[in-house]
Structure 1
Amino acid sequence: MATILPENQINQELNSSVHQFFRNQKLGTLLNQSNIRKEAGISPVMLVQFIFSLVLQKKNLYRTLESAREPEAPAKDAVYRLLNNATYNWRKFLLLLSQNVITQNLLPLVSENRERVLILDDSLYSRARSKSVEMLALVHDHTTGKFVRGFRMLTLGWSDGNTFVPLAFSLLSSEKQSNRFQEINPTIDKRTVGYKRRKEAVKKSTEALFDLLDDINPLQLCARTLLFDSWFAFPKAIKRVVSEYPLEVVCMLKRMHRVYYTYEGQKYTLTQLYQVVRKKRGRAKILASVVVSLGLDDNEKEIQARIVFVRDRNRSKNWLAILSTDINLPEEEIVRLYGKRWDIECFFKVAKSHLALGKEFQCRSYDAMVAHTTIVFTRYIMLALRTREEQDPRTIGQLFFLCCDELEDIRFAEAILLVFDCLKASLTEEPVLSEEMVESLLDRVFDNLPTFLKRAFPQPEKQLPSALAA
């Protein structure tokens, strides 16, 4: 059995972004509040920090757990018990962390005049080579237009235009049983939060989005607008968002022949509506703007919305339509607000390219995929927070590689400190040498070190021997 991580090693006061982030955001407390706790053995916060740092250390989970060169690694069973537990509420943990980061760290940096928005979108969670993964299904990939094995990762996030923070997500399977390769594990207790997530996975995305919205408080996050693309832009979904939540909707519209908008008492499809409205002359980017009613059934109340037709910059003779349920917003403001939706696309790119989303290790359990995705999102939150607080001009990808190098330096510094510690212990055993002589000898040894070795230590140069003495 592998050796348990020593607590003093985790709590070392090193110049590590990971250690600082876990300590400042009190991740141990948040894990405990999310029912992620253990009565005996290694604590969950140490296990999460171990998994969290793997990508930054350029390590593989399986090889690290099996390697005899990693005596500080936790036991393999402890890691997999953490990932596969159906009673752990990982969604609550991510939401608590995101809310704390937004309210305590980001909102004080944001002007009250700046618009804060919620963004909803989905992305492919590919498991193309898998066969026995729980809830695995054929899902549609929007980028290629093909059906592939995997899940649709429906994600809800917060943005102020500069920083994106993921709030909640759901790994959606297919609502059609014929498209699913595997069903729910029959041994899962139906009273657990893991079973509820599995039942949510077989819902339509337009229904699952309300499960995500139910878990957050938009007023606490100072957000009043929800952004999403045309895949969710159905009148029924738009009306439900506006009527049940303190949110306005800004979304892209899709040309559907069965969706009608009421204008001047007549019902038109989106294409027909563009043909009847009056266009602006010249090469204007905003071609037209019109207020319509979204009518669902004769017995339901209609809501008003503004549709802005803009020129497609990729195809100058084509057009795009953006809808806003706040009819008082200027046309330019509607277009600008919708532009904030691009933040979630950048988030998906970073999570897949740098943070090993869905690639770090291959698990068959649905709970393990949810747990690992939450840890990947936590990595992104750390990088996004560091970028914002330091006003760093570097991209999140550059900061990712910087953190990798930082952890490499820390491990090297720990080795040097261990050498100094052994040297001091050996010198202290000599009866001829006093404590002052040992300290003076260590000072001289450290002063003669090359400059690049001195920079590896987080302490000031002259404080190293006294720190070792302590």
Structure 2
Amino acid sequence: MLENKSWQSEIQAALWKEFEILRVMKALQLRTIAYRCGISKNQGVEPFSILVALVFLTFLGKSVHHFVSHCRNSLFDLGGKDVFYRLSTRTSINWRRFMMDISLNVIRYFKSFSSWQQRVLVIDDTVIQKAGKKIEEVSWVFDHSKGKSVKGFSAVVLGWSDRASFVPVDFALQRSSRKVFKQSTEIEMDKRMLAWHRRQEAVKDKPTLVKEMLKRAKQKGLDAGAVLFDSWYCMPRLVSSIYNEIGYDVIAMLKTTPTLTVAVNGKVYSTKRLWECVVPDLIKATVTIGKDRVSVSSINAFFGSTLVKLVFCQPSEKSKSKKPIILLSTDTSLTSAKIIETYGQRWAVEVLFKDAKSKLFFGKNQSRTFEATICFLTLSLVRFIILSYMERINGDFRHKGSLYEGLRYEVEELNILAFMEKFINRLLSIIDGAKETFTVFMNKLAGIQEMVRLSIQNLMFQRCET
């Protein structure tokens, strides 16, 4: 019988060296992080193998069902769908720590390429639409892009950027507390479980989720020149909490409404009246942003109890698509051009949402449990982190779609090689079995030949006597 264990280990070691995506996963210490986060073996298949297969899922199939049927007799053939769903629904896995530890490993590498002022934290949210009413914690949420309410969740995402790369760090799911669909059965859960805390987190309002995520980032030692967000989060209490309590500067867009007010030179104005009452008296300068020329003016004001710098940006040429905006910065020493340039980094989170939804299955899973939703969202963002890391180490700053296509072909090639390896192993075992069968057959044939020879001799001896 041939010994194939050493030969198989040599092939596996060669695969880890040959394929870039496997080298990246090893460099980011995914196995160690997974073990620290509670992804350990209870029974059956090794959980890390299942985790790697789930990370590769987007490169090989469209769903877990398609993935399982597509990968029969290959490297990712780990059993049926239940193997994957059992891992995704485990309540003891700390998916938040899993994602944050991977992000921090990548950010530590990226820090050597940028200064402290270039690093920012970006906050935004997106709607994850669902079709079923029986999905746990699903509710009606308002989608601003569609202008109507849809069934699903609102995902609040915190990311880190240094202008060249964007790395998602943390996220939280939020649902409406009033418009939730009633579940047929109530799930009883230990309040000490991580899954219970994630469920309680879903009913909190978005400003609270933002503060909690920023506090966790601060505790992890994540430094940044500013926190960026759009006008939906730009409220006096949240800006004051981030600046005074957590310790991050804020650069955000100010919402122009009759109810939101700022104090300029001791007088209180609504943000909507600032263009009429304050801006005409300010000194204006022209700044070129990309291909557009923008008229810029600034003034210090109090936003609630926080001293901020307001930057008024108005396109030099009138356009329906380009409207005047007001930017706010808690760092009053920054120039208007610097504030505008820094706020431009917020666009990276919009790119994340577009790429993650179109390429990386963000929010697309076929499980009803809340834990599985958290699991698959985390893995989608981990795929984006891996792509960002590969993009940076290769010095390749193309759109991630091109990198995604290259990875898809690489994983397909890896899958084919693994299938060939299994085929060769099967062939060798057949040859080994054939050798044993042939040996038994030859022994039996030799016995038959000996019996025939003895029979002939006996017959000849009897004939001679007669």
1:4-40 per-position Cα deviation (integer Å, ceiling 9, x unaligned): xxx9599443222332222111112111222222244
- Contact 2:61 2:70 (8 Å CA) reproduced: no
Give the TM-score taking structure 2 as reference length.
Answer: 0.82
Residue 406 (structure 1) aligned with residue 410 (structure 2): yes
Q: 1:350 to 1:275 in 2, by over 3 A?
A: same
Q: How does 1:447-458 map to 2 (within 5 A)?
A: none
C-alpha displacement at 1:393, in angstroms?
A: 3.7
Q: 1:423 to 1:37 in 2, by over 3 A?
A: closer
- Contact 1:64 1:70 (8 Å CA) reproduced: no
* Corresponding residue for residue 461 of structure 1: none
* Corresponding residue for residue 3 of structure 2: none
Q: Distance in 2 between matches of 1:52 and 1:68?
A: 14
Q: How does 1:8-47 map to 2 (within 5 A)?
A: 11-14=12-15, 15-47=18-50
- Contact 1:139 1:173 (8 Å CA) reproduced: yes
After superposing the two structures, state which structure 1 stretch, 66-75 or 136-145, moved more.
66-75
Q: 1:90 to 1:182 in 2, by over 3 A?
A: farther
C-alpha displacement at 1:218, in angstroms?
A: 7.3
Secondary structure of 1:42 counterpart:
coil
* Corresponding residue for residue 333 of structure 1: 338
After superposing the two structures, state which structure 1 stretch, 44-53 or 234-243, moved more.
44-53
Residue 250 (structure 1) aligned with residue 251 (structure 2): yes
Calculate percent identity across the aligned residue pairs. Answer: 29
- Contact 1:86 1:188 (8 Å CA) reproduced: no
* Corresponding residue for residue 438 of structure 1: none
C-alpha displacement at 1:358, in angstroms?
A: 1.9
* Corresponding residue for residue 365 of structure 1: 369
* Corresponding residue for residue 392 of structure 2: 388
* Corresponding residue for residue 132 of structure 1: 134
Residue 49 (structure 1) aligned with residue 58 (structure 2): no
C-alpha displacement at 1:341, in angstroms?
A: 0.1
* Corresponding residue for residue 180 of structure 2: 180
C-alpha displacement at 1:418, in angstroms?
A: 5.9
How many residues end up aligned between the 2 structures?
Answer: 412
Residue 216 (structure 1) aligned with residue 225 (structure 2): no
1:194-228 per-position Cα deviation (integer Å, ceiling 9, x unaligned): 11111111111111111211211278333131000
* Corresponding residue for residue 160 of structure 2: 158
Q: 1:414 to 1:370 in 2, by over 3 A?
A: closer
1:104-131 per-position Cα deviation (integer Å, ceiling 9, x unaligned): x211222x2651000000011110x211
* Corresponding residue for residue 302 of structure 2: 293
1:308-357 per-position Cα deviation (integer Å, ceiling 9, x unaligned): 01015753884100000001100000000100000000000000000111
1:32-79 per-position Cα deviation (integer Å, ceiling 9, x unaligned): 222222244322211111111111113531134467944722343332
Q: 1:43 to 1:419 in 2, by over 3 A?
A: closer
- Contact 1:58 1:404 (8 Å CA) reproduced: no
* Corresponding residue for residue 149 of structure 1: 151
Based on CA coordinates, which of the two structures has the bigger radius of gyration?
2
Paired letter, 2:412:
E
C-alpha displacement at 1:416, in angstroms?
A: 4.9
Secondary structure of 1:55 counterpart:
helix
Q: How does 1:200-239 map to 2 (within 5 A)?
A: 200-217=201-218, 220-239=221-240
Q: Distance in 2 between matches of 1:243 and 1:68?
A: 53
Paired letter, 1:85:
R
Q: 1:283 to 1:214 in 2, by over 3 A?
A: closer
Q: Distance in 2 between matches of 1:218 and 1:286?
A: 40
Q: Distance in 1 between matches of 2:46 and 2:216?
A: 27
Which of 375, 379, 382 is equivalent to 1:378?
Answer: 382
* Corresponding residue for residue 58 of structure 1: 61
Q: 1:74 to 1:25 in 2, by over 3 A?
A: farther
Q: Distance in 1 between matches of 2:424 and 2:196?
A: 52
Q: Distance in 2 between matches of 1:10 and 1:368?
A: 33
Give the TM-score taking structure 1 as reference length.
Answer: 0.81
